[in-house]
């Protein structure tokens, strides 16, 4: 059985959204010298890397990438990061993922970072689906979609062609 897919965001639109999110992050952190972009593995981390490239062009911020490894099917498992807790203590952190669906992944990601004192904590997503079961919101978002629970948002950020499709 094949599923139909509708393109929600094209490559150019995704590139524009990434640029807009980067500007919003810079505006929210203009008083900072450093910001940590914590991308949830896999697409969230790819998105964080793309935001970092834009931030490096538009701002003097020192941006540090951090890969956040969460088992999305079992978020109670141990969460690991590519940098040590001491390295993000009293810093401004942006937790980044591709899609905010139920909020499960983001809320457990937030919980992980709250083990140390932080200066500021925000979240960013490319697509916000508005099906939250946890009180977590995206501070910076590319697009908000009202979808049914039966629909699936597919984000492709690999290679030369980015796409967001609704299946």
| Backbone dihedral angles phi then psi of residue 154, each to the nearest 5 degrees | -110, 120
CATH assignment of 6-149, given 3.30.565.10, 3.30.450.20, 3.40.50.300, 3.40.50.2020? Answer: 3.40.50.2020
How many beta carbons lie within 10 A of that of residue 113, not counting itself?
20
d(CA 144, CA 132) in angstroms, rounded, equals: 12
How long is the chain? Answer: 167
CB 129 within 8 A of CB 101: yes
More confident residue, 45 or 3: 45
pLDDT confidence of residue 72? 86
- Quote the strand ranges of the chain, DSSP E: 6-9, 34-40, 62-69, 80-81, 92-100, 120-128, 140-144, 153-156, 163-166
Residue 12 pLDDT more than 50? yes
Q: What is the mean pLDDT of residues 51-70?
A: 97
CB 99 within 8 A of CB 126: yes
Give the lowest-confidence range in 66-75, 105-114, 115-124, 147-156.
147-156
pLDDT confidence of residue 131? 75
pLDDT confidence of residue 1? 41
pLDDT confidence of residue 4? 57
Full-model pTM: 0.93
Average pLDDT, the chain: 92
Largest CA distance in the chain: 53
Residue 2 pLDDT more than 50? no
Residue 62 pLDDT more than 70? yes
């Amino acid at each position: 059985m094949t599923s139909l897919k509708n393109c929600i965001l094209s490559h150019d639109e995704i590139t524009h959204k990434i640029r807009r999110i980067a500007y919003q992050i810079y505006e929210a952190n203009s008083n900072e010298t450093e910001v940590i972009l914590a991308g949830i593995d896999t697409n969230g981390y790819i998105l964080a890397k793309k935001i970092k490239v834009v931030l490096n062009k538009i701002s003097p911020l020192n941006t540090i990438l951090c890969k956040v490894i969460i088992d999305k099917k079992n978020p109670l498992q141990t969460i690991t990061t590519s940098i040590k807790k001491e390295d993000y203590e009293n810093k401004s952190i942006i937790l980044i993922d591709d899609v905010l669906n139920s909020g499960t992944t983001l809320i457990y990601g937030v919980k992980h970072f709250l083990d140390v004192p932080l200066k500021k904590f925000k979240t960013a997503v490319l697509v916000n689906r508005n099906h939250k079961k946890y009180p977590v919101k995206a501070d910076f978002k590319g697009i908000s979609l009202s979808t049914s629970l039966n629909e699936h948002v597919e984000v492709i950020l690999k290679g030369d062609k980015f796409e967001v499709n609704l299946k």
